Structure 1
Amino acid sequence: MPLTYEEAARREIERWVRSSGPLWQGVFDRAMRPVDWLVERVTPADWRAQLDAAVARFLETLHDVASWTFNEQYVLEAVRKVGVAADRIEALRTAPLERLDPVARGFFGQHAVLAALEGAGTGLGGFTLAAADVPLLFGINLRLIQQIGAVYGFRVQDPVYRPLVLAIFNAAAAGTSEARQAAWREVSVAAALLARGASYQGRTRDFVREQNRHLPRELVKNLARRKLGQLIPLAGLAVGAGINYVFTRETGEAAYMLFRALHLEHRGRR
């Protein structure tokens, strides 16, 4: 008996959660472990805590900035083109998944190309412009997450969704099954709370505090590893464009899989 569209989607999501990133990324991560160990041992704990707090505030600010560019009507017009009549984002939580999926995937290319152009421009400037590249890239990717979340009926530009957005973002940056499983667990918590009309605030206050303490630094570290090649003279343009394009596609894929999971689980719990 053939699977329904939603059954096939569930299996696809489960395979994605269990899978790890590309082989080259695993090799690179293992090569960087001595550096990570040295940083943990040499740098003072209070300095790392201050860095974590600063990065968390930085990501929160970028999340808010990205939300300013969010356009609800743009998303609603996109879903209307595929036959989904909705006058507000929340109404999309009950829309057929097979109608929403193509709309969500359509946002991948737009943002990936924008990120590639931005990466090419900053890649020409070596270290100086590479520093400016990261907040721009993060802003583009956070906007992509917000738009994909909206397609499935969730206003994740709201501050209460930051733990979920950070978990999705880190799943893309880390590219590991552990990061994907952590994000999937956060999706389950969000679905359970939203289905019974409660406010989503992360698993617990302690979890949110713990996540905000460590996850932002891990996210930045994972991306920084990839972007080291952008500092190579003359190669920076190509490397910057390529890495930004791939990273944004991976962010889109992570958001796509996890918001589909949230959509399905929320409907199943209602």
Structure 2
Amino acid sequence: MNENQLYLEEAIRWKMKFLRKPSMAERMSKGVQSKINARIPAKVHKAITESIKKMVEATLLGSNLTTFDKKTGALSLREKDELAQKTIAQYQKAAAVEGIGTGAGGIFLGLADFPLLLGIKMKCLFELASIYGYDIKEKEERMFLLYIFQLAFSGEAHRKEIFRMIEHWETEKREIDWLAFQQEYRDYLDLVKLFQLVPGFGAVIGGTANYKLLGHLGETARHVFHMRLIHETAGY
């Protein structure tokens, strides 16, 4: 079994786990989250919505584009993956530090965390795309990153639809629906972020949550890029 086949099998196992039906405990947790969600102040919802809208617009226009010249063309998939994992770890540390700082300040600094964390996440995706050899100067590639973002932070039903589009990107690519994007992202994060808005306690929650959220995004991106790259280069 060659290297590509090993990475493809790993990605398929990840996909099956990622798309599995939520457990009873997870479904109950979602119900609790929905109730808490209704009690979160409107300004918190507004802050998240505006942050996501601006991030999506900036990404599609390329105004938040950061160029990474990784020169990875000669690297094997294993070498690219090792570099990707190191990159994810670096961004996890940055996200954790940022979360501790804003979480310690309570609701006002907690609200400031949303655009800052979004920026860190998009920079991570930009760099990972470059590592795997994709040109983020191209609008279609930036759009692909937004779909990876959506995939990582969507509920069960929406996640399956996004996954289908990613797997058939060449024929399914379409403009991002930022309204659906912000709703899924907001619902995914609300419960964790609510606790981050509590002064003092929020510092602990913020640092840990940001670290895990960045790690989740990074792992999602790794496996998606592996599947896409193997499909493009090996045809399976």
Interval of TM-score (by shorter of Structure 1 and Structure 2): 0.7 to 0.9
Structure 2 counterpart of 1:253: 219
Structure 1 counterpart of 2:168: 189
Contact 1:56/1:213 (CA < 8 Å) preserved in 2? Answer: no
Are the structure 2 counterparts of residues 109 and 102 from structure 1 closer, same or farther at C-alpha, using a change threshold of 3 Å? same
Amino acid in the other structure paired with 1:140: I
Tell me whether 1:216 sits opposite 2:213 in the alignment: no
- Cα distance in 2, alignment partners of residues 96 and 238 from structure 1: 39
- Calculate the aligned-residue CA RMSD, in Å: 3.3
Q: 2:200 aligns with which of 208, 231, 234?
A: 234
| Local SS of the residue matching 2:199 | coil
Structure 2 counterpart of 1:203: 173
Structure 2 counterpart of 1:7: 5
- Cα distance in 2, alignment partners of residues 203 and 7 from structure 1: 26
Structure 1 counterpart of 2:15: 17
Contact 1:53/1:212 (CA < 8 Å) preserved in 2? Answer: no
- Cα distance in 2, alignment partners of residues 71 and 106 from structure 1: 15
Structure 2 counterpart of 1:150: 130
- Cα distance in 1, alignment partners of residues 50 and 116 from structure 2: 17
Contact 1:115/1:140 (CA < 8 Å) preserved in 2? Answer: yes
Identity rate of aligned residues, in percent?
22
Cα distance, 1:147 vs. partner?
Answer: 0.9
- Cα distance in 1, alignment partners of residues 29 and 160 from structure 2: 21
Contact 2:95/2:211 (CA < 8 Å) preserved in 1? Answer: yes
Tell me whether 1:59 sits opposite 2:55 in the alignment: yes
The alignment's TM-score, normalised by the length of structure 1, stands at 0.71
Structure 2 counterpart of 1:105: 85
Structure 2 counterpart of 1:92: none
Contact 2:103/2:110 (CA < 8 Å) preserved in 1? Answer: yes
The alignment's TM-score, normalised by the length of structure 2, stands at 0.80
| Local SS of the residue matching 2:136 | coil
Q: 1:70 aligns with which of 54, 58, 67?
A: 67
Are the structure 2 counterparts of residues 231 and 54 from structure 1 closer, same or farther at C-alpha, using a change threshold of 3 Å? closer
Cα distance, 1:28 vs. partner?
Answer: 2.5
Gaps of 5+ in 2: none
Cα distance, 1:141 vs. partner?
Answer: 0.5
Contact 1:17/1:181 (CA < 8 Å) preserved in 2? Answer: no
Amino acid in the other structure paired with 1:129: L
Are the structure 2 counterparts of residues 55 and 137 from structure 1 closer, same or farther at C-alpha, using a change threshold of 3 Å? closer
| Local SS of the residue matching 1:226 | helix
- Cα distance in 2, alignment partners of residues 225 and 66 from structure 1: 28
Which of the pair has more CA radius of gyration? 1
- Cα distance in 2, alignment partners of residues 234 and 140 from structure 1: 23
Structure 2 counterpart of 1:88: none
Structure 2 counterpart of 1:28: 29
- Cα distance in 2, alignment partners of residues 62 and 132 from structure 1: 18
Q: How far does the alpha carbon of each residue in 1:152-211 deviate from its partner, in whole angstroms, 9 at most, with x for none?
A: 11123543334422221122223x555554443233333x46xxxxxxxx534xxx36x3
- Cα distance in 2, alignment partners of residues 185 and 156 from structure 1: 22
Are the structure 2 counterparts of residues 143 and 51 from structure 1 closer, same or farther at C-alpha, using a change threshold of 3 Å? closer
Amino acid in the other structure paired with 1:11: E
